Amino acid sequence: MQQLILNPRAERRLKLGHLWIYSNEVDTKRSPLKGIQPGSQCEILESNGKSLGFALVNPNQLICARLVSRKGPFTPKQLKRRLENALALRERYYPHPSYRLVYGDSDGLPGLVVDRFGEYLVVQVSSWGMETLIQDIVEALTTLVKPAGILLRNDHQGRKVEELPDLCEVAFGEVPQMVPFEENGVSLLAPVYQGQKTGWFYDHRDNRARLNQWVKGQRVLDLFSYAGGWGVQALAHGASEVTCVDASDQALDWCEENAALNNRKGDLITIQGKAIDAMKELIASGERYDAIVLDPPAFIKRRKDQKSGEAAYRHINELALRLLEKNGLLVSASCSMHLESDTLLEILRGAGRHLDKNISIIGSGGQGADHPVHPAIPETRYLKAHFVHLTGTTQ
């Protein structure tokens, strides 16, 4: 097995619990990265030769290695044990088998995501290291979970970064186009073949549950709605009417399927188009809503997007506040890892002051227990949501 020797003091993060090794931290004169096969396992050494553990390596990336074992090479037996631990965590906190079963680094399996939809699993791999273990992963999941089917949904953007080929195929059993599952007591369908990521976004489950308790009899606007995770659940929990807005016609069709599944299709309004354009048209027509959900895609994907991304968050939040009824509730969310929760609060404060409106933060939330945060890897904490009450115009 090849060894990678780190530069002096480059081991500090790893000793604190982090798992990532950057290419500029490797002493390439003593241990060249060039020539290492992507996905290979290498032993990681301090500059003085002391072993730090074993990592899966892609020599062509800035994050060139991810630690997977601190005691001996990583084996299929360890892989199965990690999956057992991940399953035990989810079964401890979720009564229904609908959740993110594996969340990458946080479960000691960097580059691996597995979402569970009842008796079906959707697997996504975004690192060469996990790609080389895919057969072991499928076999271990089949033994542990005994699913009816496992779909490899490996056609996402993350694979392009690692120069992995696109692939979408059933690895075990059979998987229907729309898989049934449950979230917050609501029956739903996930478009696992054609939808975004694995077909669903479980990360906002707790924030949706919080909103659900406040929507009975309310008129709700769900922006960037996708398949209706927020909006359809609001209908199922008694909202009088929900308007879902999304740029994708297909996503709105999925919203309607999920509303019909809950016998509320007649109370669902869909608007196809860009959220900002739709919001401006709704403002112009005098529409107002009791509750608004603003759950956009990441506006800050890289550090260089910080300034423009923060401006975009402020703009859409101002538009949302203009659409709120007095005593209305805005759920303002962000999945941008580079946007701090306090920065989003500052954006909301600025939006309220600019519009001369009194707002109060009545709650804040993050990702659920099936997206556990690794205490040494801040990158695993990315989701934030603030619940904003609009009192009215300032005096």
Tell me which residues are annotated as active site: 335
CA distance from start to end of the chain: 71
Cα–Cα distances (Å) from 324 to 81, 97, 178, 194, in that order, read 49, 36, 34, 33
Nearest-angstrom CA–CA distance, 149 and 138: 10
Read off φ and ψ for residue 284, nearest 5 degrees: -65, -30
Which of 112, 105, 157 is CA-nearest to residue 379? 105
Sequence letter at residue 386: H
Residue with tokens 């290695």: 65
Residue with tokens 């619990």: 17
Read off φ and ψ for residue 383, nearest 5 degrees: -95, 140
Residues 235 and 258: beta-carbon distance below 8 Å: no
Residue 100 CA, chain-centre distance (Å), reads 9
Name 220's Cβ contacts closer than 8 Å, sequence gap at least 6. Answer: 231, 234, 239, 241, 242, 243, 289, 290, 291, 292, 293
Nearest-angstrom CA–CA distance, 254 and 2: 49
Residues 361 and 387: beta-carbon distance below 8 Å: yes
Residue with tokens 């059993």: 173
Read off φ and ψ for residue 83, nearest 5 degrees: -65, -40
Name 359's Cβ contacts closer than 8 Å, sequence gap at least 6. Answer: 321, 330, 348, 349, 352, 388, 389, 390, 391
Residue 95 CA, chain-centre distance (Å), reads 21
